[in-house]
Amino acid sequence: MWTDVAYVVTAVGDGQFGKYYETTISPADDRQISIRCQKRLSSFSILPVYSEVLHFILSHLPEDVPCEKTRFVAKWGSDTSVTKKAERAVKQDRYGNETAVKALANHYWVRFDYSKARKLFQQALEINPDDIESLEALVLMDIETQERTHAVIARYEHLLTLVPNSERYLRMLALLLLESDNERGEDYAGRLLNMRPNDVVTGNALSGYYLRKGAFSEARTVVEQLKDVTDNAKVKEFAKEGLDYIDRYETDGRFRKKEKTRRSLRKMWWFVGAIVVPLLGLLFWLYSIVREILSDRGAP
């Protein structure tokens, strides 16, 4: 039943054959439906069909239920003939048609061709250096490809100078900085919570930051304020669980040590996934090439 759907989220994942899209449809209860679109080697022939399915889902739901990534893939994951038309338009008028340049960039982006997409968004910025759409596209691609955090932060801070009261930019800056225990995140989180006191994600991140610093009173105040300003029963329950967690974190030394270890392990596994595994893959690939060369020369 479409009326039971609580949210639709499309995320980018990394699999054995490269990046893929996975869309999760979640009703109000615990059931979930997930559909995946995997790029096989150089072919992404299934993407137009996946895009049609997302269009079908969007047509049955209120505007605020599906996430932005779902709308993006539905819009730009269309027939490859559209890309070819856009390529011709850009080639004919390289710097005159900003709309065509960005459209082509989005067609490449949705197919995970980040190199071509970045080049085109940079081309759009040569036409209009303060184009918000291109600047934001570049930073979102940085996040998808796990670029360095400080580069992502710098891009968002530049965007915030162009749109000073953007809730989206304030939230991303707060989350990125607080996750890395950077005190500047307090300022961005505070600005956003003044504008939107019931922002659960930012409130939870700020509370966790205070918790790790040992500022238990500040962490408790953030969660209590969140509980007071919301009428949502689920948010109130979440806040109550948060307060219980803070009390246990403050009073139970063994639990606090366990949570700190778990956070350290999570960071370590992120490093392994983002850096070590690709490096090992590269070394294995080089080893395979050397072994093949030696084999051709008659070496054992």
Residues 141 and 89 grouped into a single domain = yes
Q: Are residues 114 and 139 in the same domain?
A: yes
The pLDDT tens digits of the residues spanning 138-158 come to 999 998 887 778 889 999 999
Count of CB atoms situated within 10 Å of the CB of 20 = 18
Asked whether residue 263 is assigned to any structural domain, the reply reads no
Q: Given the structure tokens 């990046």, which residue do they identify?
A: 19
Q: Which domain holds residue 97?
A: 79-147
User: Among residues 128, 147, 166, which one ends one of the domains?
Assistant: 147
Average pLDDT of the chain to the nearest whole number? 83
Phi/psi of residue 9, nearest 5 degrees? -125, 130
Residue pair 178/189 in contact (Cβ under 8 Å)? The answer is yes
Confidence class for position 239, pLDDT limits 50, 70, 90: confident
pLDDT at 73: 95
Number of domains in the chain: 2
Please tell me which of 6-20, 188-202, 220-234 the model is most confident about, judged by mean pLDDT. Answer: 188-202
> Is the pLDDT higher at 291 or at 170?
170
Give the percent of the chain with pLDDT over 70: 83
Is position 179 within any domain?
A: no
- The pTM of the whole model exceeds 0.75: no
Question: Last residue of a domain, which of 147, 162, 191?
Answer: 147
Mean pLDDT along residues 65-80: 89
Q: pLDDT tens-digit profile of 97-127?
A: 788 889 889 999 999 999 999 999 999 999 8
Digit-coded pLDDT (tens) for 179-222 = 889 999 999 999 999 999 988 889 999 999 998 899 999 999 99
